């Protein structure tokens, strides 16, 4: 897998939620940096994507 793309939305409480395009992967976190790290934890380093892209959609 070369890359995984996630749609990121800010919740009403100011946290962030990410959903992967084409995969049943979801993650949430208090900050974008924490969200990035949380998303990467879904993948094993040997079989995971080379790039993870977070597309933030402003509220």
For 1-17, the pLDDT digits (tens) are 578 899 999 999 999 99
* Any domain includes 2: no
Domain encompassing residue 46 = 7-57
* Any domain includes 13: yes
Q: What is the pLDDT of residues 20-31, one digit of tens each?
A: 988 888 999 999
- How far is Cα 6 from Cα 50, in angstroms, rounded to an integer? 14
In the chain, the number of structural domains is: 1
Q: Alpha carbon of 23 to those of 4, 19, 30, 36, 42: distances in Å?
A: 9, 8, 22, 16, 11
* Any domain includes 35: yes
First to last CA, the chain: 30
Tell me what pLDDT residue 37 has: 87
HSE-CB at 16 with a 13 A cutoff on CA atoms is: 20
pLDDT above 70 for 32: yes
* Any domain includes 40: yes
Query: pTM value?
Result: 0.76
* Any domain includes 29: yes
């Amino acid at each position: 897998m070369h890359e995984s793309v996630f749609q990121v939305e800010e919740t009403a409480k100011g946290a962030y939620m990410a959903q992967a395009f084409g995969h049943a992967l979801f993650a949430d976190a208090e900050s974008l940096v924490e969200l990035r790290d949380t998303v990467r934890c879904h993948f094993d380093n040997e079989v995971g994507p080379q790039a993870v892209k977070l597309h933030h959609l402003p509220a």
